[in-house]
Amino acid sequence: MKTIATYDSGASSFTLEKGVWRGTFPIADLPKWVTFYRQQMERYPAQVASYAEDAKALEALATELRGRQ
């Protein structure tokens, strides 16, 4: 299932969506979430495919935001 990460500059937050699940977090926490999903891939190898989608979406968002600076 594809994961989508979007940035809301007005609220200084990002939203991570996967299927029916959705979570919104402060943009300052983006690096923490990238780290979290990378650690989950190491801890739970059987779920790597699921966590990899989340990490990929968050990393793409981080790259996009760095490009805006």
pLDDT tens readout for residues 8-63: 999 999 999 999 999 999 999 999 999 999 999 999 999 998 899 999 999 999 99
User: So what's the pLDDT on residue 63?
Assistant: 95
DSSP assigned state of 13: E
The pair of three-digit structure tokens given for residue 40, joined into one six-digit string: 């989950």
The Cα 11–Cα 41 span in angstroms is: 29
**This prediction's pTM:** 0.89
Is there a contact between 25 and 7 (Cβ–Cβ < 8 Å)?
Answer: no
pLDDT range class, residue 1, cuts 50, 70, 90:
confident
Torsion angles phi and psi, residue 3, rounded to 5: -105, 140
